[in-house]
Amino acid sequence: MAVSLCPPMRGPQASIRSRIVLALAAIAVFGLVGSASFAKAHARDSGGQVARKATPEKPKAKSKPEDKTPRNAPVKKRTAEVRQGVQAKAVYCVNLTSQKTLVAHNPDQQLPIASLTKLVTAMVVLEKMPLHRKVRVPEQIRKVPKSIADLKPGDMVSVSDLLHGLLIASANDCAETLAAAYPGGRKAFIGAMNRKARSMGVQQTVFHTPSGLDEKIVTKKDGKKVVQVRSNVSTAREMARIARIAFENKTIRAICLKRHYRLASTLSKQGYEVKNTNKLLTDSLPVQGGKTGFTVRAGHCLASKFTPRGSVLLIVVLGSPDQFRDTRLVYHKALHATKNSAPKPAPARFSRSKTPHIPASGG
């Protein structure tokens, strides 16, 4: 049983003590409530409502620099970056009048030539096949990939019309039809093309197809198929030599300058409409011959002949992303080189005969 150490108070002393205790308790309660109210009020004044968890401040966005351009200034359009200079893998330009090389870049690098091949195809055809002769389009012509004139198997087309499709539209089906109709067939035709190249004095030019398309040879090795791809190849310098001889032929030159042509057909009255692939024919340049070419491996190729100001320029570009742009650039470079290399006129010479002395007035 607990024993109180303080004697119990009775009477007036106990009443006074109870009042003191109650007063102290009330003061303590009011103090706690006031502290809480003050903390809440301070939080609202410094940041609004009290958040349960503090959130990190977001970084302020960088202010944009002040635009100082005038309001009425013209709006500048965003344009693609323009390529500078010639982009072709190989370039060769020669002045045939002076036999002087004007522009050259990798002129002796052996590269695929795509449909520039068809210049030699046309020369071989003209040597052995009469223009009026009609030949049959073979059945396997459907397998020939573009570009094509869309010849129909079994149709009878003249050699002249096939040459137009060959040189104007660069039609691969026309090349294969001519090769199939050659004496001895396609294999003999390709052999004649390589002999023709050697007769023109070129050694790095090799042909595997009459059209310029790549030849795929499938073999088996260790039970697996192996695909070998062979391309018709030449150099820019040798291709310029071939193009010079080809464009000297009146038939080839005349066909290459035509913008469109219709091949006659024995199967339909409409025939086969073809359009020229050479965009330089619509320029103001003095074009006297041209042949385009393209495959994925070769890129864009172009052989062109120009006759500016009494000169004769022959330009070949191989492996170009834009053969027409590159040819124009080379053409203007060649003109500039021709102008600078031209001999300057001799100064005028005056006669040494004595002139009569005329005295000054008032002498």
Across-strand partners of 26?
none
Residue 116: name the closest of 262, 258, 287, 243 by CA.
243
Q: What is the pLDDT of residue 340?
A: 73
Cis peptide before 284 (omega within 30 of 0): no
Residue 90: name the closest of 103, 100, 74, 76 by CA.
103
Q: What are phi and psi of 233, to 5 degrees?
A: -130, 160
Rg (CA), the chain: 46
Letter string b/e over residues 81-109, b meaning 16 or more CB atoms within 10 A of that residue's CB: eeeeebbbbbbbbbbbeeeeebbbbbbee
Has this prediction a pTM greater than 0.85?
Answer: no
Residue 172 has pLDDT above 90, yes or no: yes
pLDDT band per the 50, 70, 90 thresholds, residue 56: low
Q: What is the pLDDT of residue 16?
A: 64
Q: What is the pLDDT of residue 215?
A: 95
CATH of the domain spanning 90-341: 3.40.710.10
Q: Which amino acid is at 91?
A: V
Pick from 54-63, 180-189, 283-292: least confident: 54-63
Q: What is the pLDDT of residue 310?
A: 84
Across-strand partners of 306?
287, 313
Q: Is 306 left (phi over 0), alpha (psi -120 to 50) or beta?
A: beta
**Residue, of 232 and 81, whose pLDDT is higher:** 232
154-to-141, 198, 292 alpha-carbon distances in Å = 10, 35, 28
Tell me the mean pLDDT in the region 216-235. 90
* Burial of 346 per CB tally in 10 Å (0-12, 13-18, 19+): exposed
Distance from C-alpha of 173 to C-alpha of 144, rounded to nearest angstrom: 6
Query: Of all residues in the chain, what percent carry a pLDDT higher than 70?
Result: 71
Nearest-10 crossing angle of helices 159-168, 118-128: 170
Q: How many CB atoms lie within 10 A of CB 66?
A: 5
Distance from C-alpha of 144 to C-alpha of 179, rounded to nearest angstrom: 13
Q: What is the pLDDT of residue 224?
A: 87
Query: Of all residues in the chain, what percent carry a pLDDT higher than 90?
Result: 64
**Residue, of 251 and 18, whose pLDDT is higher:** 251
Structure tokens at 363: 């002498």
Residue 330 has pLDDT above 80, yes or no: yes
Residue 314 has pLDDT above 50, yes or no: yes
Residue 213 has pLDDT above 90, yes or no: yes
**Residue, of 258 and 66, whose pLDDT is higher:** 258
Residue 291 has pLDDT above 80, yes or no: yes
Residue 79 has pLDDT above 50, yes or no: no
Q: What is the pLDDT of residue 326?
A: 98
Across-strand partners of 100?
95
Q: What is the pLDDT of residue 342?
A: 59
pLDDT digits (tens, 9 = 90+) for 149-160: 999 999 999 999
The mean pLDDT of the chain is 83
Distance from C-alpha of 92 to C-alpha of 22, rounded to nearest angstrom: 115
Q: Which amino acid is at 128?
A: K
Contact indicator for 147, 271 with CB cutoff of 8 Å: no
Residue 358 has pLDDT above 50, yes or no: no
